[in-house]
Structure 1
Amino acid sequence: MHELMRSLGRRIEASQQSPDPLSLLGDDAMREAADLWAAQWREDAGVKNLPIAHTIAWLHWSRFKALPVGEDEADLDLALMVFAWVVEVAPQFVNGEVRDALTPGGRDARLALKTLHVVEYRDEPDLLDRAIDLGRRSLAPVGLPPANVARRSTNLGNALMMRYERRADPADLTAGVEAHRNAADAAHPADEVWPLAQSNLGNALLLQAQFTGDREQLDEAVEATRAAWATTPHHHPDLVWRCLNLGNSLRTRFERTAALADLDEMVRVLREAVALAPDGHVDRPMFFSGLTAALGLRFAHHGELEDLDAAVDAARAAVDACPLGRADRHRYLTSLSVMLERRYRRQRQAEDIDEAVAVAEAAVAQGSHHVSGSAARMSNLGGALSVRAGATGTIEDADAAVVACREAVRLGSARQGHLNLSDALHQRFELAGDLSDLTEAAATIRAALADADTGDPGTASLWLGLGLVLFSRFQRTGEEGDVGAALHALRTAASGRSPGHAMAMRAGAAWGLVAATVGAWSSAAEGYGVAVGKLTEAAWPGLRRDSQEQALRDWSGLSADATAAMIAAGSLGAAVETAEQGRGVLWAQLLQTRTTLGDLRAAAPALAARLDGQRRALAAAYTVD
């Protein structure tokens, strides 16, 4: 009898590590179990033997886990029947997983969880429905311990959210949020399940907020994901995912509200995610990619060169962390190309745009067998080629850019693909002078605008592109309809909701220029006024000094143009205010960088006294009310 029990024990233990556990728990194991029961009956006259009962129970429990869904319930019932006696006489031999299954509703909970694991990777609607029904039945008993409610509600919420993602039924989304909220309410902050419940609730609320547009749901999503991140132990393997979840919710809220605190917190937690992932971690490229996107977004808002350099470094690290031949490597190459192109646009270093093109070509080549993302890869390549064509005047790059962007649109690229195609056609017109390129460029953007949602802040870039194309065509043909449409497009771009100052400044300055060209001075003054109004944001005090100076150089003539337009429009008071506003930005930056004169006073007291007098005079001349 003892040898039979040892043999069966070895089978059960080996099955835990085997890729085919049923090969160890099949007919031979069942025969040994039957012989063991018979031997106990003969030797102990039917008295229950704890070690034997424990072994038999684990055999059926292991078989339940290994058998396919639908063929496993008999083994589960036998295991629970024997474990029920074992837990009465020796509870220390029964783990928490089995104890939960022995509570009211526990059998349904185990079946629901196993079914959910199966349908996670298989699209079987009937099984998913079964998992949800079992999950609801597991929560039906009255008086369940809060810990059991938390775990079972979590599993039910996961099943409902999975069904929502597959069938897009809003009722499942609402029920999923409710289940995850019940889990969070039932869990105690000291319980291990509490951070998981908060994380699941936050993710579900974020999805619901994106569906409903409800700001309160979005705020609650941020708070829940932040609570999950804050309470997950530093050594816990899920902490890196909690960082990503919090970063995702913060990014969604920032895109809705433009709250700078969310932007900075997002960068911090995504840097933490990168630091937590060791070298060789399979998802390390994805963590670097998330940080790249966060830094790129902060650069777009603040214009801080340090963020742009860091974004390029993070994108490059994502590529380096992704092995050659891995299926998703093309995504990280595309991200690196985008950041290099963005840095070229700011710093005009030829090596950046050359590398951007080379990396974009590599992304297209490596992703040639993957339909997903193919339009974005082609669009990115076309955009990089077009920028280089503008820098070098190379018509071959311009032609290649148009070909790539047309292919991107054919493959289904939406807004960015249409915008890149329009830019490529516009650039080729500048080099070759073919008016049909401008006609196609305008039609391309209008098609994208027709498909865009009303009020979408991302359409500002389309309106800006359309305005510039139409103005170029007006300059060639003199068609008055084009200039009127260009002014309308630029006004729309400048006044639309945008997450940063850059779009309003570009569109406002272009609006002012177009209006001034045709002598519409009141309109020109209005457009330039929009741009000047954003100048303090372009060179805000939080930037490093070199970034402030670069921003001011980029817009060095803006105040003068605006002042001239206002004078021509007869708005002399506004002209004076605008001139002072532009001058004030410059002086404000200088005054904020003043340092004490202690070192100079010690070396050259007379010079220090003269400089101090000049500084005081300047400070008195420029006073901010």
Structure 2
Amino acid sequence: MSEADFPDALLRAYDLYKQFEVTDDVADLDTAIGVARDCVRGSTLADPAYGNSLSVLAMALQSRYERFGHLADLEESIAVGRSAVQAAGSTEALAEGLHNLGLGLQMRFERRNDRRDIDEAVKASRAAAEATASDDDAYPLYLSMLSKALQTRFDRLGDPADLDAAITAAESAAQRSPEDSPDRIVTLSTFGSMLATRFRHRGDIKDLDTSVEVGRSVVALAAALPGRSASTAGIWSNLGLRLLLRYEYTGELADLSEAVEAARTAVRAVPMDDPSHTTFLRNLALTLLMRFEQTRDAGDIDGAVATARAVVAGLPPDHPEHGGAMASLAVALLTRFTSTHATDDVVEAVHRLRAATAIPLASPSERIHAMALLSVALHRQYAHSGQAALLDEAVAVARSVLEAAPAEHPLVGITRHHLGFTLADTYRATADTELLDDAIGEFRRASLTASATRYRVDAARAWGEWSARLRRWSAAVEGYAAAVTLLPTAAWHGSARTSRELLLTDWHGLAVDLAACAVAARRHDCAVALLDSGRGVLWAQMLDIRTDLAAVRAQAPHLADRLEIVGRELNRADLWAITGPS
């Protein structure tokens, strides 16, 4: 966009819009929008200034939408963007109009989750880049925005082709962006984000390390800019999330502490009435919660709860992320309840999750997640209060999860595991053997369902234990045998030594229980063989506990990195996805 072609009134509107980006003075933005509207009304399609007036108006409306979240501003910006594309009298004006239109459509997709918006956003952003010469100053910015649109579509729909195209565009944009370009912050930020996304899906730790360093460079560039804004907050927040991701895979506490400070800086960088404020609060709550897992510092968990509560309060009830925010608050409350056993925390967690499951959530997967959480919370409240009705509700909700979730959903196996123990507690309270039969059935199904192996072993052991209590010896042998068979997978050599030792300690009696049940089932001929087989699994693990991947790293360093990452994933408490630390 060439400011030399602007009439005086439009130049004033543009200057006020740019001034708002520095001062965050809303009066400047409102005036810019008013003046730009006057310029549009005062010109015709044949006027060279008409297209420029539309572009300035679209940009200013998008900024006000980002600042306050009023959907009317976003809708107007998209309509104005379409008009700017139609009115474009030059290739430069066409690219500018397509760029602004693509941004508006991407924002609306994030608000409404309509597939058509993100598809059109990708199309418009790609057309903007294709209409621009590769040596044009605007070309890196247009490539960067195309990359963001492709990443957004990949995050929601999962097409690997979108990820590959997003990375290619982001890398090219970063390479082409001059050191002194005002758009360098944008292009570098996008490239860093793409590297982090590729790490999550491809597992090369070098991508994550580079992403963190790029994030630090962007923070340094942003520090030289005047004023504070949501874009500055986003830069700090992105750095914090990448540090948090690296902490998850390396366990480096310095990364976790830096992530907390980055998240706090992001929150401080935007006014409380800015719609993006809740996003940065949510990231801070997550980071504090993760640090609490390590430090058990009451200040961290109290801060996580207070911050998560502020997120809920800051979102209107009809916002698509409102239900997810309530589920996140419930996780923080349940985590604190585990430590303090404060009744108010578990009661509020149940209340929040009931509310979350009663409203439309952003996706079916989020609803399944919230329902699974609710079942766990109800079970915990029952254990604390002894109210039998809570158990019945916990069972009903868990069964609803299993009805709603696809068979391959990652929460199916964990929910079956949890439902089995909930039914077993119901049996203890009622002595209804049909409920115990149901519990044993769920334990059996959980042990056979793809999920974290530790839960499958736990479910198989419960299948054996409860069958033995009912003197169903053959079924008990089957359950214990399933548990022993799973042990090598649960304590595989790619996981950390301490984790394997703890797991094997927890399950050291499985082989003896298996042999005892075989004797009771009058399978004397195979009891000794089962005992030797079960103990052999344990001893083979104990005698071969080693984590040295030096030989693998020498031949295939990328494979060694991937093995370490997979090992950490297997060691992570998958139940955390629905309960937090127990």
> Does the alignment reach a TM-score above 0.5?
yes
Partner Cα separation in structure 2 for residue 330 and residue 211 of structure 1: 21
Q: CA distance change for structure 1 residues 410 and 311 in 2, over 3 Å: closer, same or farther?
A: farther
> Is 2:468 the partner of 1:515?
no
Corresponding residue number in structure 2 for 1:423: 376
Spell out, residue by residue over 1:113-135, the C-alpha distance to the aligned partner (whole angstroms, 9 max, x if none): 34644664545868845643652
Q: Report the Cα offset of residue 15 of structure 1.
A: 8.2
Counterpart among 229, 242, 245 of residue 190 in structure 2: 245
Corresponding residue number in structure 1 for 2:146: 201
Alignment of 1:508-587 (within 5 A): 508-517=456-465, 518=467, 520-527=476-483, 529-530=485-486, 532-533=488-489, 535-536=491-492, 539=495, 549=498, 551-552=499-500, 554-555=502-503, 557=505, 560=508, 572=532, 576-577=536-537, 579-585=539-545, 587=546
* Secondary structure of the structure 1 residue equivalent to 2:41: coil
> Is 2:47 the partner of 1:71?
no
* Secondary structure of the structure 2 residue equivalent to 1:555: helix
Corresponding residue number in structure 2 for 1:6: none
8 Å contact from structure 2 (residues 460, 482) kept in 1: yes
Q: Report the Cα offset of residue 574 of structure 1.
A: 7.1
Q: CA distance change for structure 1 residues 171 and 465 in 2, over 3 Å: closer, same or farther?
A: same
Corresponding residue number in structure 1 for 2:82: 132
Partner Cα separation in structure 1 for residue 512 and residue 264 of structure 2: 45
Q: Report the Cα offset of residue 219 of structure 1.
A: 1.4
* Secondary structure of the structure 2 residue equivalent to 1:560: coil
Corresponding residue number in structure 1 for 2:177: 232
Q: Report the Cα offset of residue 481 of structure 1.
A: 1.0
Corresponding residue number in structure 2 for 1:487: 444
Counterpart among 104, 113, 118 of residue 55 in structure 2: 113
Q: Report the Cα offset of residue 183 of structure 1.
A: 3.8
Q: Report the Cα offset of residue 368 of structure 1.
A: 3.1
Q: Report the Cα offset of residue 489 of structure 1.
A: 3.5
8 Å contact from structure 2 (residues 327, 353) kept in 1: yes
Partner Cα separation in structure 2 for residue 521 and residue 133 of structure 1: 73
Q: TM-score, normalised by structure 1?
A: 0.62
Partner Cα separation in structure 1 for residue 256 and residue 130 of structure 2: 42
Partner Cα separation in structure 2 for residue 18 and residue 334 of structure 1: 32
Q: Report the Cα offset of residue 482 of structure 1.
A: 1.5
**Structure 2: which amino acid aligns with 1:423?**
V
Alignment of 1:582-621 (within 5 A): 582-585=542-545, 587-588=546-547
Alignment of 1:315-394 (within 5 A): 315-319=263-267, 321=269, 329=277, 331-346=279-294, 349=296, 351-352=297-298, 355-361=300-306, 363-364=308-309, 368=313, 370-371=315-316, 372=319, 374-394=322-342
Q: CA distance change for structure 1 residues 397 and 116 in 2, over 3 Å: closer, same or farther?
A: closer
Q: TM-score, normalised by structure 2?
A: 0.66
Q: CA distance change for structure 1 residues 465 and 336 in 2, over 3 Å: closer, same or farther?
A: farther
**Structure 1: which amino acid aligns with 2:422?**
V
8 Å contact from structure 2 (residues 199, 208) kept in 1: yes
Spell out, residue by residue over 1:555-584, the C-alpha distance to the aligned partner (whole angstroms, 9 max, x if none): 352573566678778565575355323442
Corresponding residue number in structure 2 for 1:177: 122
* Secondary structure of the structure 1 residue equivalent to 2:136: coil
Partner Cα separation in structure 2 for residue 289 and residue 177 of structure 1: 25
Spell out, residue by residue over 1:504-554, the C-alpha distance to the aligned partner (whole angstroms, 9 max, x if none): 1442342233233235444444456556425457745xxxxxxx65x4565
Greater length-normalized contact order (CA 8 Å, ≥ 6 residues apart): 2
Partner Cα separation in structure 1 for residue 292 and residue 109 of structure 2: 42
Identity %: 24
Partner Cα separation in structure 2 for residue 329 and residue 167 of structure 1: 19
Partner Cα separation in structure 1 for residue 346 and residue 12 of structure 2: 64
Larger Rg: 1
**Structure 2: which amino acid aligns with 1:209?**
F
Q: CA distance change for structure 1 residues 421 and 115 in 2, over 3 Å: closer, same or farther?
A: same
**Structure 2: which amino acid aligns with 1:113?**
S
8 Å contact from structure 1 (residues 198, 225) kept in 2: yes
Partner Cα separation in structure 1 for residue 549 and residue 149 of structure 2: 48
Partner Cα separation in structure 2 for residue 16 and residue 65 of structure 1: 8
* Secondary structure of the structure 1 residue equivalent to 2:229: coil
Spell out, residue by residue over 1:592-621, the C-alpha distance to the aligned partner (whole angstroms, 9 max, x if none): 9xxxxxxxxxxxxxxxxxxxxxxxxxxxxx
Partner Cα separation in structure 1 for residue 127 and residue 550 of structure 2: 56
Alignment of 1:34-183 (within 5 A): 67-73=38-44, 77=47, 109-110=51-52, 113-114=55-56, 116-117=58-59, 120=62, 121=65, 122-123=72-73, 128=78, 131-132=81-82, 135=85, 138=88, 151=96, 154-155=99-100, 157-158=102-103, 173-183=118-128
Q: Report the Cα offset of residue 174 of structure 1.
A: 4.4
Partner Cα separation in structure 1 for residue 86 and residue 8 of structure 2: 37
Q: CA distance change for structure 1 residues 429 and 530 in 2, over 3 Å: closer, same or farther?
A: same
Partner Cα separation in structure 1 for residue 116 and residue 441 of structure 2: 48
Q: CA distance change for structure 1 residues 68 and 553 in 2, over 3 Å: closer, same or farther?
A: farther
For structure 2, which runs of at least 5 residues remain unmatched after alignment? 1-6, 18-33, 66-71, 362-366, 469-475, 519-526, 552-582
Q: Report the Cα offset of residue 484 of structure 1.
A: 0.9
Spell out, residue by residue over 1:390-420, the C-alpha distance to the aligned partner (whole angstroms, 9 max, x if none): 3344445444443444344446663444343
Q: CA distance change for structure 1 residues 464 and 538 in 2, over 3 Å: closer, same or farther?
A: farther
Q: Report the Cα offset of residue 360 of structure 1.
A: 1.6
* Secondary structure of the structure 1 residue equivalent to 2:166: helix
Alignment of 1:291-310 (within 5 A): 291-300=239-248, 307-310=255-258
**Structure 2: which amino acid aligns with 1:580?**
A
Number of residues of Structure 1 aligned to a counterpart in Structure 2: 486
Q: Report the Cα offset of residue 198 of structure 1.
A: 1.4
Partner Cα separation in structure 1 for residue 258 and residue 75 of structure 2: 45
**Structure 2: which amino acid aligns with 1:484?**
G
Q: CA distance change for structure 1 residues 271 and 506 in 2, over 3 Å: closer, same or farther?
A: farther
Partner Cα separation in structure 2 for residue 70 and residue 154 of structure 1: 23
8 Å contact from structure 2 (residues 59, 77) kept in 1: no
Q: Report the Cα offset of residue 430 of structure 1.
A: 2.5
8 Å contact from structure 2 (residues 278, 314) kept in 1: no
Counterpart among 282, 285, 288 of residue 229 in structure 2: 282
Q: CA RMSD in A?
A: 4.6
Q: Report the Cα offset of residue 230 of structure 1.
A: 3.8
Bigger CA drift: 388-397 or 324-333?
324-333
Q: Report the Cα offset of residue 316 of structure 1.
A: 4.1
8 Å contact from structure 1 (residues 205, 220) kept in 2: yes
Bigger CA drift: 509-518 or 480-489?
509-518
Partner Cα separation in structure 1 for residue 273 and residue 104 of structure 2: 34
For structure 1, which runs of at least 5 residues remain unmatched after alignment? 1-8, 20-62, 81-106, 497-503, 541-547, 593-625
Corresponding residue number in structure 2 for 1:31: none
Q: Report the Cα offset of residue 199 of structure 1.
A: 0.9
Corresponding residue number in structure 2 for 1:221: 166
